[in-house]
Structure 1
């Protein structure tokens, strides 16, 4: 009799969790919680920095440059995306800070605080990207050491004079942001795949359209470093790597940026002036070298003659922070020298560090050789030596700091940790004290705006530094078109041609800045427009009132 075969049902019994599994799950959970805690602490730190820098930025009363940028961004928001009719300065800030201003004005409108919020945001972005670029491909303790060094260099700007450089209206500080983004793209090129040269070209082009300085401290040094590395690779028959792509990207970005500016103008958009810098006489070089060291120290927050502007207690904090910043400045400049030496000798493969180091060298050399090295306010011309140096300090010395931090010798390890902790405490304390002690200052010519609005005067012409500030400070209820000496005449600088049309506007007053005669004088205004009905003196400003439209008599010329 055949035997019946019955299919057996197989039941899978779950494997019981062992002690090893429990330990693995617990470790994973702790790591996840640790990452969330770390991320939360970093977000809080960024928020604290943003609020602190905002308080510092508000000490810089808004001036006409920042107010002009606010008006341009407001015009972009209202449909004039190409800024048709505008003549800008020699720096457009068009794809960078003007877009940032427009986004802020979506919330705040064209108020003077837009300038301060944008300045604080820009500096925080500079710190964040400097930390990320300083990290490079490092992980673990080395990554944290690199980022800590970069943040330490940037954390505490010099009070007052330093705030006026790095936390003021758009100038050259914000140019460091797209250049650091470019460095980050070079570091992360493996993630972008074959598209990374196009990304580098695009960001470099944007930076140069916004600020021609980006060509001298960004595209040109990148081309120099890439060409040198490429030549050495060809000579030694080594793999070419990314240097050929970067050389083409740097050259293409220069051509594209110049073409973009010309095409915008030809299409009816904004126009920009040519850069005003010129080569200086050979006799001025020693003086410019001395000025170079002073302005670099100011950018780094280590210019001691300016650290005694506050009371005795706060001055002590400033001096302590200045001493730490002096050490960090020395480390940053040493890191730049080390990177240039490695490039020339063909040692090391950190092309980002080599690029930024050459960028510093080119920036300082151009500063010394140009007429820009006039006074301490020219620190803005070399301000990117600060974020570049912060990155270099992290990339060159961060790994050594991490190794020393973990060394087995107990006394040396603890001495290093106590020293680093003390220096960090000084910087954090200085940041907190300066942020707490910062007091806001009103925009320039605020009293003029109030007087005009109180007397129902809503349109006029005036000296440049009283023009856009009055317009923005009054919320647009009083509008002032800028004029300049001689006579006065139309000022084609951060201005719109429509403002001077007598068919559209009725200008019944002129504001004269008695402290800056090259923007117009009282005698020049009377010579052009005749005797006024009334003269009002407010601090450095003089208001001349007339009973006719001044725009009809205003001399004009093409820029």
Structure 2
């Protein structure tokens, strides 16, 4: 039986990975993903401290970057890995989520809502450097500790949790803190005294993670990035966070029909998704209210959802709709809880399971096959063909184009400081040595950047428009960063 389950598991992983790879293969590679890939490539070449890099707010070092670096060492630095590995990662998330709902018959069908994510959510779910590595560790921890666990397996889980805490600070809010809160509640209010193995998953990884951070601080040039300590949002900002939470969740499930024509078929599909989500939310509430105390794991799932949502609403971290990605673990934990605890009857089938299947089916109809990265690839080919070498450009284009070039060039993302007539390095997801060259071209985001660059470096340029991407071409290599210059 174990061998049969193992075969089914591996077969499911392979099939899902292929499906998700094909689903995202046609999508563009964002600047964050491209920079992450270049970091992993540098790590694979031996720069384990990422010396010279300006990292993001989260380092993703062990949860995603190291696995990417290993894959690059084994398979080569092909950009297809930016589709393949996230597809495998997300497949693992789905399989662990299904395993967590296994105890409740057909309850797992509620997770159909995630089997084919919406176009809005897919770039965050099946993508590099977007918290999915930490989500895998978190869900695996919940699944493993809900069963009899050997000392060896428990030790592995401790190490994985420590590495996840070190790599992704979101992990604390959806796994570490919820487990601790529920342990205290279970011990003090419910008088349960057999959950100390859960407490170990909180304390020991925090200690190990802290030790790793202390050790890293003594390694020269090893700057893992990070952010200033989160702050409470201002009182006026609560309304903005609530807006991002509610409207972002609607968009995450492809249910945004607001302000759009009723006769539009696409908008009609969005309205159907919205109705399905409302049905699931309303009728799932009673399962939360009725069953959340049943098992320690179920309490943790509800606490994970509640704490992460509360942190989102009260934190200064949410900025725009893209911040919805912080809520992804909360979406999974609450739907896993529903799948584990819903009563399987006619009402739940019609009002919870079928709506989930409908959303999945509608998401399938949005599957588009368009040539991926057309503009980025075309610009990269233009740079290679004309042997233009390394250069500069808007951050939103720079790395996304550079990873497609065959000549192994660098394109530094920059900020245009018009008042001081200079071009500044954008110290974010970039290497410091990218800014040591002089270039004859600049890849502009829009006409306003073209105008600003002309004020700094002169008007004797020509524009090459490639699929809407504007390339400013000067007759000599005059573009550089940081220096004060006068208009030519």
Conserved? CA contact 1:452–1:478, under 8 Å: no
Conserved? CA contact 1:215–1:254, under 8 Å: no
From the superposition, tell whether residues 384 and 366 of structure 1 become closer, same or farther in structure 2 (CA, over 3 Å). same
The answer for the alignment partner of 2:394 in structure 1 is 463
**1:297 maps to which of 250, 256, 259:** 250
Q: TM-score, normalised by structure 2?
A: 0.84
The answer for the alignment partner of 2:135 in structure 1 is 176
Residues 284-433 of structure 1 aligned to structure 2 (within 5 Å): 284-305=237-258, 312=265, 320=272, 323-330=275-282, 335-338=287-290, 342=293, 348=294, 350-397=295-342, 400-401=343-344, 404=345, 426=358, 429-430=361-362, 432-433=364-365
Unaligned residue ranges in structure 2 (runs of 5+): none
Residues 485-504 of structure 1 aligned to structure 2 (within 5 Å): 485-486=416-417, 487-501=422-436
**1:449 maps to which of 376, 380, 385:** 380
**1:512 maps to which of 444, 454, 475:** 444
CA displacement at 1:92 relative to structure 2:
0.8
Q: Secondary structure of the residue that 1:147 maps to in structure 2?
A: helix
The answer for the alignment partner of 1:409 in structure 2 is none
Matched, 1:536 2:463: yes
The answer for the alignment partner of 1:15 in structure 2 is none
The answer for the alignment partner of 2:236 in structure 1 is 283
Structure 1 residues 313-358: Cα deviation after superposition (integer angstroms, max 9, x where no partner): x666665555445444455565455565x3xxxxx3x222211211
- 1:60, 1:216 → 2: CA distance? 30
Conserved? CA contact 1:88–1:495, under 8 Å: yes
CA displacement at 1:392 relative to structure 2:
0.7
Cα RMSD (Å) = 3.6
From the superposition, tell whether residues 417 and 96 of structure 1 become closer, same or farther in structure 2 (CA, over 3 Å). closer
Aligned residues: 477
Structure 1 residues 245-288: Cα deviation after superposition (integer angstroms, max 9, x where no partner): 43343134234334424533531324303158543221232343
- 2:475, 2:129 → 1: CA distance? 35
The answer for the alignment partner of 2:199 in structure 1 is 247
From the superposition, tell whether residues 329 and 41 of structure 1 become closer, same or farther in structure 2 (CA, over 3 Å). farther
CA displacement at 1:43 relative to structure 2:
5.3
Conserved? CA contact 1:360–1:388, under 8 Å: yes
Matched, 1:191 2:149: yes
Q: Secondary structure of the residue that 1:481 maps to in structure 2?
A: strand
Q: Secondary structure of the residue that 1:353 maps to in structure 2?
A: helix
CA displacement at 1:60 relative to structure 2:
3.0
The answer for the alignment partner of 1:117 in structure 2 is 84
- 2:165, 2:116 → 1: CA distance? 28
**2:115 maps to which of 137, 150, 155:** 155
- 1:460, 1:416 → 2: CA distance? 58
CA displacement at 1:551 relative to structure 2:
4.8
- 1:90, 1:499 → 2: CA distance? 20
CA displacement at 1:496 relative to structure 2:
2.0
CA displacement at 1:97 relative to structure 2:
1.7
- 1:310, 1:493 → 2: CA distance? 44
- 2:395, 2:162 → 1: CA distance? 31
CA displacement at 1:450 relative to structure 2:
2.5
The answer for the alignment partner of 2:169 in structure 1 is 212
CA displacement at 1:552 relative to structure 2:
7.4
From the superposition, tell whether residues 302 and 187 of structure 1 become closer, same or farther in structure 2 (CA, over 3 Å). farther
Conserved? CA contact 1:52–1:432, under 8 Å: no
Matched, 1:201 2:158: yes
Bigger-Rg structure (1/2): 1
The answer for the alignment partner of 1:271 in structure 2 is 224
- 1:125, 1:246 → 2: CA distance? 23
Conserved? CA contact 1:285–1:368, under 8 Å: yes
Structure 1 residues 336-386: Cα deviation after superposition (integer angstroms, max 9, x where no partner): 55565x3xxxxx3x2222112111111111211233444432211211122
- 1:231, 1:441 → 2: CA distance? 55
Conserved? CA contact 1:111–1:473, under 8 Å: no
Q: TM-score, normalised by structure 1?
A: 0.74
From the superposition, tell whether residues 468 and 319 of structure 1 become closer, same or farther in structure 2 (CA, over 3 Å). same
**2:209 maps to which of 257, 270, 285:** 257
CA displacement at 1:130 relative to structure 2:
0.9
CA displacement at 1:457 relative to structure 2:
0.6
Conserved? CA contact 2:379–2:401, under 8 Å: yes
From the superposition, tell whether residues 501 and 186 of structure 1 become closer, same or farther in structure 2 (CA, over 3 Å). same
Q: Secondary structure of the residue that 1:356 maps to in structure 2?
A: helix
CA displacement at 1:460 relative to structure 2:
1.1
Residues 23-62 of structure 1 aligned to structure 2 (within 5 Å): 36=4, 45-62=12-29
Q: Secondary structure of the residue that 2:326 maps to in structure 1?
A: helix
